[in-house]
Structure 1
């Protein structure tokens, strides 16, 4: 590799690392389980640098692995083919807040938590709310992140109005803009959202904002069984109570997170819980909505309805919810799954996980977004011998993904496919779908240098 040409672009030696100078954390992802190799790690600070780097990479057929905050869970940021790691974490500026169009334009490296704090300080609201708040916006867009508030507000795709991207050959492309409607040919923006860095490198995003809701409260509903809780969700949604979030959790994962964080969940009555949020501008509207939910819940065997209207209680409870995966990972290797099924099949899928747990002899803990059918599972190793774990976990995962397909679901609701889920994704996805994804990849990246081998790509 001609490092001299790259050094001509990145003159600051702190923003380019070669060979053994590359720290291990840049060769892996948040799970830090698998590690790749790379020849050079580069930290660009603007679109022009990204474009110049990609031109060199394309001319020389050098693989490029883009990454942001490195919080992914599926191996999409692991450099499996050497070459260049393009770390966009220094491209973290807020370019513009346009109050007239209710948009904010940002670079891809800005963290979700920082963006949300900024816009809320100005009286606006960016609704997408995945569990990992320290993820970058570029990463959120690349996986079409969903999160807790999707049941009311939708997912990342619903808030991306425009993108500036750099293509594999260094071409700078702008798609979309500050417009609410677009029926102007193919929407290239929507192809790039969720593509996990395989089609283009995001260098700027125009995001839609809404006015910040004036008030938000939460509620916990304990049940004797997860089935009772999940069965109640559809009835809550049909009641038109407009909750912002509907999460479900089993008691064992909550207890694990309590130990990990040294915090106390507000209830210990149930074996499973629903956790809901309600927001809005009018007190009476919020009260009317949570009373509807309370009525439905108590009519369907809920043990209680616990309203959380104090800031400390709400923050503590959602902090526990946000730490469920991290808490499991702290005590045992686990495989995170985020299969999504139609909301009326959530109970069927969760019931199957109990059957599969016994059949394969592997512990499965479940939680997730009950309001949109996105079931999160931790398939937990619990000290199992490595060869046996590898054999049994692969068989279990294959069975879980196939059950998801049987229920008309899909392999991932928000984490993406990367390399960890790729064999299961290929197994349950129609061949014609994968073929057309690969044709689109070819149109964007003829030489196949951008994050190839990930997700659908060869």
Structure 2
């Protein structure tokens, strides 16, 4: 990796000439948001400049200038990441793609859409629905950019049925660190044509190239969907129902789990008490939220009868139907608010989004909660029960930051070791960024990390693109 150089006034002038005076921010014009992502515990640093290009040509010109002068470049979308991935730890510039926010073209005969990377997930989902399509990836943070989703291979709540973001990327335009423009993956449904550079770029977290355009696969929008709340006595009983639900032939769109305390906090935060706390005279301690979709309501309710039988046998207190538009909106608004609720209630927060085998979820959650008690740290958890992706947060209030970091580090060390023991992975969808590099190395091993680093060197010989992240 080359030694980085200072961003001089002359270079700032050249950047300004590329993107325009209003779109090259320096000094006091750089807002605090550009210094951090949604998890400030993982680092904050204000970049020397922020560039907001509006086209692939402008991105290419920025990258060529920075590569020629060894200026580090950190790519940023909406900044909703949780692992410090968009923090400019080495200074230099932040290249923010949020001005590149156009939905360019639908190909309705081939079920695809072309978009720029700054399109927000919520806007694409709504627009696709208006055209009769569904864009299936459904991460919890709906205001995230699609380019960011691709960069971390985000999964979300519908991944159990429809897969992760990777499964919907057919082609992309990428600017390499050198400033060269690379077209990857012709928009066909399958190919066996050499190494898949497209899939190498997906999930690379902005370390190999800058995504400037995407061709994404769509599916016909399901004609009907219904959600079902399954209240249980405790999280162990709730999680134990998941394999049976998956084996029942229901093909659920999503299977979410949540513990009672986060449900109560969400209700207080949103003012909507949509999850019942007492069912059949019994106190609910945890919930499974299942969504079924299909061609019509009759088809769904035939499967719902099977779900009711499975739930009863697994110990659910009831199966509560969520089928009106207002009920659906309230339930999923409550679910989507979980992270916001946790952040609003905590002065300090650390997180993991490990993925473990589905039949190990309860064991892992119990292990982490025990770690929290041993170290005096509160644990909050929820996640995607259908695919074993768990969102677990260590939170603290009125505590010394250094003490909190010391305690959570002990929890994280033990938790990631347990995850590896169970055959799990460090991240299911949030990525590695800066925060989880050590755990990736311990999990993947030196050989795999060496190969990743070799790939990085091929794409980015000077190491200017998002330095200090993932494998370096």
TM-score by length of 1: 0.98
Q: Are residue 266 (structure 1) and residue 270 (structure 2) matched?
A: no
**Secondary structure of residue in 2 paired with 1:249:** strand
Shift of 1:385: 2.5
Aligned CA distance change for structure 1 residues 316 and 19 (closer, same or farther; 3 Å):
same
Which of 146, 159, 162 is the matching residue for 1:153? 162
Which residue is 2:327 aligned to? Answer: 313
Q: Are residue 368 (structure 1) and residue 383 (structure 2) matched?
A: yes
Q: Are residue 348 (structure 1) and residue 356 (structure 2) matched?
A: no
Q: Which moved further from structure 2: 199-208 or 307-316?
A: 307-316
Which of 353, 373, 391 is the matching residue for 1:338? 353
Give the whole-Å Cα distance in 1 for the aligned partners of 2:431 and 2:454. 19
Give the whole-Å Cα distance in 1 for the aligned partners of 2:191 and 2:51. 35
Give the whole-Å Cα distance in 2 for the aligned partners of 1:301 and 1:216. 24
Give the whole-Å Cα distance in 2 for the aligned partners of 1:79 and 1:277. 39
Which consecutive residues of structure 2, in runs of 5 or more, have no partner in the other structure?
1-7, 279-283
Which residue is 1:213 aligned to? Answer: 222
**Secondary structure of residue in 2 paired with 1:196:** coil
**Secondary structure of residue in 2 paired with 1:205:** strand
**What does 1:135-146 align with in structure 2 at a 5 Å threshold?**
135-146=144-155
Q: Are residue 110 (structure 1) and residue 119 (structure 2) matched?
A: yes
Which residue is 1:424 aligned to? Answer: 439
Q: Which moved further from structure 2: 417-426 or 335-344?
A: 417-426
Give the whole-Å Cα distance in 1 for the aligned partners of 2:189 and 2:402. 53
Which residue is 2:140 aligned to? Answer: 131
Pairwise CA RMSD: 1.1
Which residue is 2:39 aligned to? Answer: 31
Give the whole-Å Cα distance in 1 for the aligned partners of 2:402 and 2:184. 48
Counterpart contact for 1:150–1:372, Cα < 8 Å: yes
Shift of 1:38: 1.5
Shift of 1:378: 1.3
Shift of 1:428: 2.6
Counterpart contact for 1:164–1:172, Cα < 8 Å: yes
**Secondary structure of residue in 2 paired with 1:49:** helix
Counterpart contact for 1:19–1:38, Cα < 8 Å: no
Give the whole-Å Cα distance in 1 for the aligned partners of 2:13 and 2:372. 54
Counterpart contact for 1:325–1:378, Cα < 8 Å: no
Which residue is 1:449 aligned to? Answer: 464
Counterpart contact for 2:34–2:46, Cα < 8 Å: no
Shift of 1:284: 2.4
Give the whole-Å Cα distance in 1 for the aligned partners of 2:275 and 2:269. 16
Which of 292, 299, 304 is the matching residue for 2:318? 304
Which consecutive residues of structure 1, in runs of 5 or more, have no partner in the other structure?
none
**Secondary structure of residue in 1 paired with 2:464:** coil
Which of 307, 311, 314 is the matching residue for 1:293? 307
Shift of 1:87: 0.6
Aligned CA distance change for structure 1 residues 263 and 401 (closer, same or farther; 3 Å):
same
Which of 267, 284, 290 is the matching residue for 2:298? 284
Which of 403, 409, 413 is the matching residue for 1:394? 409
